[in-house]
Amino acid sequence: MNSLTLISILLVYLTFLFFIAHWAEKKENLKWANNPYIYSFSLAVYCTAWTYYGSIGVAANSGLNYLTIYIGPIIIIPAWIIILQKIIRISRLNNVSSIADFISLRYGNSRFLGALVTLICLAAILPYIALQLKAISETFHVVTKTPENSLALFDTTTYVAVALALFASYYGTRYVDASEKRKGIITAVAMESILKLVFFMIIGIYVTYFVFDGYGDIYKKASVLEHFNTKNTIGSIENGMNWFFLCMLSLFAIFLLPRQFHVSVVENNREKHIKTALWIFPLYLFIFNLFVFPIAWGGNVLFDGEVKNADTYSLLIPQFFNNTFLTIIVFLGGFSAAISMIIVSSISLSTMLSNNLLIPYTFLGRLKNEEQEINNKKIVTIRKIGIFLLIIIAYLIYRFFALDYSLGSIGLVSFVIIGQLAPSFFGALFWRRGSSLGAKSGIIVGFLVCLYTLLIPYAYGLTNTTNTFIASGIFNIDLLKPLALFGLDYLSPIAHAFFWSLLFNTMTYFAVSVNFKGNYRERNYAEMYIDVDKYSTNHENAFVWKGTAYTRDIEKVLVKFLGEERTQRAMSIFNTKYNVDKNQELADARLVKFAENLLTGHIGTASAKILISSVVKEEKITLPEVLKILEESNENIQINKKLVETSNELKKITYQLKHANENLIIKDRQKDDFLDTVTHELRTPITAIRAASEILIDDEDVPDDLRKQFLNNIISESDRLNRLIDKILDLEKLETGKQKLNLSQNDFFNTLSKTIEPLQQLIKNKNISVILDFQKPLFLFYDEDRIIQVVTNLLSNAIKFCPEVGGKITIEILNKSNFYEINVVDNGKGIELKDAEMIFDKFYQSDNQNIKKPHGSGLGLAICKQIVELHQGKIWAKNNENTGACFTFTLLK
Amino acid sequence: MKKILLVDDEPNIIMSLEYTFKKNNFEVYIARDGQEALDILENQIPDVIILDVMMPNVDGYATLEQIKKNEKLNQCKVIFLSAKNKESDIQKGLALGASDYITKPFSLKKLVDKVKGLLE
């Protein structure tokens, strides 16, 4: 196939990815771009060109060993729900944007440690990126059947590398704050993950079922090949050890590789997305590996005896059958695998390079004095150039050094180097005593061992047995043979180097940490990391800091990087969160930590600390003091929690008391009003009686008829007095339960007739029409005298409130599930809503009749209520639609 | 002959008052609530008004307020006659400009003396 055609296809493909990234960036708030599947598939950036091509090479040449790289992650993934969640939480709270930040922050925010981790990552990953470029380049030449051009300028893959570098540096540095999410890139990576899987499955199915007749066929044909059995069994116990260590190696790598840390931690939007990744990612790895074996051995069968690079079997097979379309598809899948790795790795490496190496060691002094815009521009430029240079350097490594090694071997070397971060990384999560010095010395010692047992021999060529260094060790000491250190001669070079370097690394880390205690800051962060859940809501509280600091100074520093507006916004968030007065001049530990966090995303943890330290005056604290403060703050948090609970309870009780009190006051006032009313009502007949009597006794000339009239008045007023006293006693009896009901079965219609009879005159006087709306007869169980009392009361009220002209009263009975509802409806002015409930309280008189003569003693409805409730019914009032009042009471069936 | 207006919603009390004041040579006018009283005052200017407080429609206090607004009635003396005997009620009545506040039940003789005293 023509180079130009393939390049055009590549360009179209890259444009497509560019479009996806661009689209996702635009729609970053859309649910679609935030779903857990994007997160899960982006994790498959783990499967690089090494997986895509290299696994097949390994499977073809050395059998099952390729599986270890996938078994390791699958073993550890179930533990993600705890470990990864913890890492994500710590990182989110501290604005961590790379693994270098993560490790160095835990060990007292050590600048040197951050730089060291960055260097380790660079050493591990640059050759790894080179490997990807090599894969692109090699496969490109396989597809186009062109030889590689020894002059980089004329080699088409050079331009591919440059294009990638531009793409990554453009999209990877959209935000100054490195802990911001990069939706565009991540969506594109997830898309590529899906494409590479689909393409790989297509070629797998093609080889298995079209070139051959299924798995059985391939197995049958392959099993007659030389070495088939030895390659496809684990074999000896030594080989088992190799397996074990390789699994461990990849288990660490899934956490430690900068690109994995980036996609799984920095780009994580929601912790719950882990749950989806928990099954998607292992399933992804599993499906990917289904077809590695058939392609590898299918290739071995097809090309038996020919010297071919087994890494490229997946391309050679369709090409062998002249299937250009499939060849291109496979090439695009491998290309996807390579570029997602390159892009994500270079972004995370450049963040580390800028935030943990360049800014804290060189640029910080200059950034300190500039304006925000210039600063941001500088930081972004540093990162852009960083990404670009990293890819170009990787390309140069590929051109000059990495040409001779197979994909798998470089990948594993890189895993071993990155593995050196494991002790300090996992120690950060689980061991309080781990110290900065321990972490640094562990990493350095581990790396040196790795250098001795792996990198130097690698540089000489592993199989170069004539080399004296490899054959007989340094100074000819047998025990120091680099590939068989201390006589351990049965492990493969990778497993061997991994074993020794990690052993020394871990031992050093433990020994140094135990013997040289870290300072208070390390111990402080240890608490914050290990007990992250305890501090997750008020993270800044956990930061121990003593000294003098001014809010204004800290704000000034923030403005230089965040700008005026964002600084003010952040400060007001802080003030609200901790209930701090915004005019507070002195800053406390929380503000110091808060400010450091804000800067961390821009310039890294170490620089953030340095910058803030330059404007505050910190006092040294001793380790025991830190522990004491932490303990106290812990206690405080718990006491606070209890206090909040108690105060909430108190608030509730206070509210209830207040409510009860208000009710009491109202009741008390009602009682006063009632007494007022009752005395008034009692005095009125007494007054009449007294006046009449006075006339009769003083005046002997009163005419006879008038004298008779006065005496009649005295009698009627005495009766009135008596009735009133009866009512009061009646209510008292009902209320105290002394009144018993005399229940019997009655026809409600009969009862109603008896009630209306004495009221006929009043009804006629006002010309009111009374409508009875219910089925007759209606037999119910009640105390007839009492119910007559109730209905009389309601009817007299209704009559009283009916308009002078066109008055109308309706009595209707509704049949409800287990009771009857009796409504007495008039068409008067209705009742005030605020009175609706209280009119049934004794003593209650509506406001608007407070001074005016009340229409009754204020006892009628109260007595009704008592009677109805004694019948287990309810009584209430509301306004009817036709603006009249509607009084309702219920009677049980 | 002096004119007196009796305002109360209790017919039996009115009856005794009417009899007593007529006997003492007053020209007696009667109203059963505040509104009726105000209607009568449109045409008549009595020398004394005996005013109950708790009455339907317009109560005694409101009636007195209306009376005080009317300049023609400047010379009218007003005596409250009420069963509301709380100190606050009495103070309110006097503050509105009543000449006296007599609580029920009352002595007719003393009431007549008080009215006569006011008119001297």
**Between residues A723 and B27, the one the model is more confident about:** B27
Q: Does A683 contact chain B (CB < 8 Å)?
A: yes
Q: DSSP secondary structure string, A381-441?
A: HHHHHHHHHHHHHHHHHHHHTGGGS-HHHHHHHHHHHHHTTHHHHHHHHH-TT--HHHHHH
Mutant choice from A718, A804, A852 vs B, greatest count of B C-beta within 10 A: A852
At residue A118, the pLDDT reads: 93
At residue A178, the pLDDT reads: 64
Q: How confident is the model at residue A152 (pLDDT cuts 50, 70, 90)?
A: low
Q: What is the pLDDT of residues A613-670, one digit of tens each?
A: 878 887 777 777 777 766 776 677 677 778 888 888 888 999 999 999 998 998 888 7
At residue A268, the pLDDT reads: 86
Please give the average per-residue pLDDT across A595-620, as a whole number. Answer: 81
At residue A857, the pLDDT reads: 55
At residue A881, the pLDDT reads: 64
Mean pLDDT across chain A, nearest whole number?
82
* Torsion, Cα of A606, A609, A615, A621 (10° steps): -130
Domain boundaries, chain A: 3-64+121-242+255-403, 537-619, 628-736, 744-892
Q: How confident is the model at residue A473 (pLDDT cuts 50, 70, 90)?
A: low
Task: Please state the pTM of the whole predicted model.
Answer: 0.63
Q: Does A676 contact chain B (CB < 8 Å)?
A: yes
At residue A475, the pLDDT reads: 67
Q: What domains can you pick out in chain B, each with its CATH number?
A: 2-119 (3.40.50.2300)
Measured between beta carbons, the chain B residues lying within 8 angstroms of A691 are 12-13, 16-17, 20, 105-106, 108
Q: How confident is the model at residue A711 (pLDDT cuts 50, 70, 90)?
A: very high
Option in A676, A688, A694 nearest B10 (CB):
A688
Q: What is the pLDDT of residues A9-48, one digit of tens each?
A: 888 888 888 888 778 777 756 666 678 888 899 888 888 8
Q: What is the pLDDT of residues B75-115, one digit of tens each?
A: 899 999 998 888 888 999 999 999 999 999 999 999 999 99
Interface confidence, given as ipTM, is: 0.94
A603 burial type by CB count under 10 A (0-12 exposed, 13-18 middle, 19+ buried): buried
Q: Does A620 contact chain B (CB < 8 Å)?
A: no
CA A449 – CA B82 distance, rounded (Å):
111
- How far apart are the CA of B65 and the nearest CA of chain A, in angstroms? 14
What are the structure tokens assigned to A155, written together?
């080699």
Indicate whether A870 pLDDT > 50: yes
User: Looking at A60-69, A79-88, A485-494, which range is the least confident one?
Assistant: A485-494
Option in B15, B61, B84 nearest A680 (CB):
B84
Indicate whether A143 pLDDT > 90: no
Q: How confident is the model at residue A749 (pLDDT cuts 50, 70, 90)?
A: confident
Q: Which CATH class is domain A744-892?
A: alpha beta
Measured between beta carbons, the chain B residues lying within 8 angstroms of A699 are 23
Indicate whether A855 pLDDT > 60: no
Which residues are within 8 A (CB) of A211 and not within 5 positions of it... i.e. 6 or more apart? Answer: A298, A302, A317, A321
3-state class (DSSP) for residue A782:
strand
Q: Does A415 contact chain B (CB < 8 Å)?
A: no
CB pairs under 8 A between A and B: 77
Which segments of A563-622 does DSSP mark as H helices, in order? 564-578, 589-615
At residue A854, the pLDDT reads: 43
Q: What percent of chain A has pLDDT over 70?
A: 88
Select from A861, A761, A860, A777 the least CA-distant residue to A820: A777
- How far apart are the CA of A690 and the nearest CA of chain B, in angstroms? 7
Q: Does A710 contact chain B (CB < 8 Å)?
A: yes
Task: Write the CATH number of the domain with boundaries A628-736.
Answer: 1.10.287.130
Option in A680, A691, A713 nearest B54 (CB):
A680
Indicate whether A334 pLDDT > 80: yes
CA A136 – CA A398 distance, rounded (Å):
11
- How far apart are the CA of B49 and the nearest CA of chain A, in angstroms? 18
Identical fold between A628-736 and A744-892: no
Please give the average per-residue pLDDT across A798-806, as a whole number. Answer: 85
Q: Does A575 contact chain B (CB < 8 Å)?
A: no
Indicate whether A853 pLDDT > 50: no
Q: How far is CA A726 from CA A488, A721, A723, A854, in A?
A: 113, 9, 5, 19
Closest CA in chain B for residue A701? B23
Query: Which range scores top for mean pLDDT: A27-31, A829-833, B54-58, B74-78?
Result: B74-78
Measured between beta carbons, the chain B residues lying within 8 angstroms of A710 are 15-16
Indicate whether A679 pLDDT > 60: yes
Closest CA in chain A for residue B56? A853
